[in-house]
Amino acid sequence: MKPDLRKTFDWLKAQGLPPLPIAPAQHPQQYPARERDGTLKRDSNGALIPAFTGKNPSFLDANGIPHLIRHTQYQHQLPTEQEFRTWFTHPANGIGTLGGWQNLVWLDVDVKQFGSQEACNARISHWLSQHPRLQQTFTERTHSGGWRFAVRVPEKRFTNFSLDGLGGQHMGEALGQGRFTVLAPTIGPSGQSYVNLQRVSPVWVERLEAIGVYPVSRRRGQSEPTHLRPPIQVHPAQPGVLRLEDLATAKAQAVLQGESPLESRSHSLTYALREFYGWENWATEHGVPINGDAEALAKEAGAALGIDVERVERIIQSIVDPEKCIPAAVFAGGDESAWKRVQALSHLKYPSYSSIGQTNQAELSAGGYLKGGELQNVVRDLHYILRQSPTIQTAKHHTDRDDWSPRKRLLHGHTYTFESEGQHLIVRAASRGLIFQARGFVVELSKVTHLDKQRFMVEAKRLQQTHSLSPIRPSGCEALER
């Protein structure tokens, strides 16, 4: 492996990201792309489309023969050492990785969207001056003169973006779950190399809009979000958390595996996406913790079906009312049918939470939220955990001011996200959004149930251990000490 490629390879492994190879572009006459039925793919002018573009996951073997890689499996698992040896034997192979891992989003700025290279560079320079924390994140130049930045964000709600506000000129793409990105020192189709300018850990941002990245489309209410969706990365099942794809119908699950049960691949993907949206909506309404993201699953299904990413994006945008989608189970048998589905999955895969449906129904319908001293203990302990975790805060500069200095801190867990800024404390739950808000010890909003307390206090203890935080004080939340 070449030394400069080795640097990228080692950095990706250190970040817990999958290094994937890229074969140089191949002539379409020799290696044309094909549809799933074997017919040749052609563009709108009838020209053959190449199977190897120099920008898609692929590799040259030791004999120089190109091979495509089905990269969807690496959205959830890292490649093996044997795969690495096979992929990176030929010195002409480049390197890339996928978005979505650990909430990673690649911001790909396309120079073609600007009048000139100078105009592109000037706009990026101005943007970086407006958002200086981006000067501290992973940065590269693309082979064509564009820019690429890496950030971590709890939620990615759009792909095509502008730096000129909501609905502005299209300037690039935010590449998240399932999207492949090419990295230095790969030689692109232009014959020029991708160039790394800063190989550091991606910075965390609250949301893309907070760094001046806005959706091009004004559709689907893409203004200020009222709550966060579940994390885009799909994790293996965890106790008490149901996977979104497991809740969906067998037909939708078949689409995820690349089958097309309806009259066309587009119809099949649209059906599956509406089913995923429906379960997201239902779980949010009923307080059922789920893991997964409808649009991320749609992109995974699109890749399995062989639908190109632009077409998948158009299908996603075609559903203008995702908040009105309902799952097939509710359509057929109402909420009772949905609860049966939840409890059946809980019994089979989550035995320690087999009564999740009854617990949430009983607590929420009876208004079973924490109150009084129990709630104040939660407030005190969360403030304590967040105030003594400076290594993961998003503030740029360290300060020795008192505990109530207005510095933002984020703790991202599997099910809960804890945030504080000064005296302001927020807790968000995957699929339910905002469940708690306080200023100091004055609670402004609370939808925290006894089940929430058990779960997010356990998660807080796990975060303590993960980030080597000091033990929580014994004055509150005894559940942590048991």
Q: Looking at 37, 63, 96, which one is the last position of a domain?
A: 96
| Domain match, 272 and 340 both | yes
What is the tens place of the pLDDT at every residue in 187-207? Answer: 998 889 999 999 999 999 888
User: For residue 409, is pLDDT > 90?
Assistant: no
The domain total for the chain is 4
Largest CA distance in the chain: 73
Strands (E), 74-158: 94-98, 104-109, 139-141, 147-152
When pLDDT is averaged across residues 270-299 and rounded to a whole number, the result is 85
- Which residues are paired to 104 by β-bridges? 152
CB crowding 395-413: b at 16 or more within 10 Å, else e: eeeeeeeeeeeebebbbbb
Residue 235 belongs to some domain of the structure: no
Tell me the angle at which helices 450-466 and 356-365 cross, rounded to the nearest 10 degrees.
120
| Domain match, 49 and 111 both | no
Residue 237 belongs to some domain of the structure: no
| Domain match, 356 and 247 both | yes
Structure confidence at residue 407 (pLDDT): 59
| Domain match, 70 and 112 both | no
pLDDT band of 398, cuts 50, 70, 90:
very low
| Domain match, 391 and 310 both | no
Residue 144 belongs to some domain of the structure: yes
Structure confidence at residue 366 (pLDDT): 39
CA 468 to chain centre: 25
Residue 234 belongs to some domain of the structure: no
| Domain match, 224 and 105 both | yes
| Domain match, 79 and 104 both | no
pTM listed for this prediction: 0.51
Ranking 18-22, 178-182, 224-228, 388-392 by mean pLDDT, the lowest is 224-228
Structure confidence at residue 347 (pLDDT): 55
| Domain match, 168 and 266 both | no
User: For residue 227, is pLDDT > 60?
Assistant: no
Tell which residue, 261, 258, 154, 248, has the closest CA to residue 209.
154
Residue 264 belongs to some domain of the structure: yes
Q: Looking at 365, 389, 411, which one is the last position of a domain?
A: 365
When pLDDT is averaged across residues 245-251 and rounded to a whole number, the result is 89
Considering the chain, what percentage of its residues have pLDDT values greater than 70? 74
| Domain match, 108 and 174 both | yes
Q: Looking at 331, 365, 399, which one is the last position of a domain?
A: 365
Residue 233 belongs to some domain of the structure: no
CATH number at residue 170: 3.30.2250.10
Residue 236 belongs to some domain of the structure: no
What is the tens place of the pLDDT at every residue in 427-457? Answer: 877 656 778 888 877 777 887 776 677 666 6
| Domain match, 379 and 449 both | yes
pLDDT band of 309, cuts 50, 70, 90:
confident
Ranking 193-197, 209-213, 358-362 by mean pLDDT, the lowest is 358-362
Q: What is the extent of the structural domain holding 138?
A: 99-228
In the predicted model, what is the mean pLDDT of the chain? 78
The span from the CA of 300 to the CA of 266, in Å, is 14
Structure confidence at residue 475 (pLDDT): 40
Residues near 14 by Cβ (< 8 Å), separated by ≥ 6?
none
| Domain match, 121 and 222 both | yes
The span from the CA of 69 to the CA of 59, in Å, is 8
Structure confidence at residue 234 (pLDDT): 39
